[in-house]
Amino acid sequence: MKLLLDENLQKKLKLDFTEHEIYTVTDKGWNGVKNGALLKLLVQENFDALLTFDKNLQHQQNFKHYTIRVFVLSAPINTYQELTKLTPLVKKHIKSSNPGPVIVVS
């Protein structure tokens, strides 16, 4: 699966998903790209999912227009120590055949 870590996530989180093709926004040179444009880039580049810490994203975009899944990581703080605790849940959802377009993982 081809995954993108949003710029609001710790880059170290890539280490939790080595079995997937995983990039950060910085890896792709997409820093500062707004959410709507970012989602279009994800579709153009054949990404399967976006991992983000942006809890408002699900309310700002109409995901019926996109073929990717979005995993919103919900933790008390945005540190690797907290986010890595959510990795097993994200992986479980990734393996799910029909998890829906937006999954909040907490």
Q: What is the torsional sign of CA 84, 43, 70, 99? A: negative
One-letter amino acid of 28: K
- Residue 100 sits in which domain range? 2-105
Give the closest residue to 68 by CA, choosing from 92, 33, 27, 102. 102
Q: How far apart are CA 93 and CA 101, in angstroms?
A: 11
pLDDT given for residue 98 in this prediction: 66
Question: What average pLDDT score do residues 65-86 get?
Answer: 91
Condensed to tens digits (0 to 9), the pLDDT of residues 38-65 reads 999 999 999 999 999 988 766 566 666 6
**What single DSSP character describes residue 101?**
S
Rg of the Cα atoms in the chain: 12
Kindly report the CATH number assigned to the domain that includes residue 17.
Answer: 3.40.50
Report how many domains make up the chain: 1
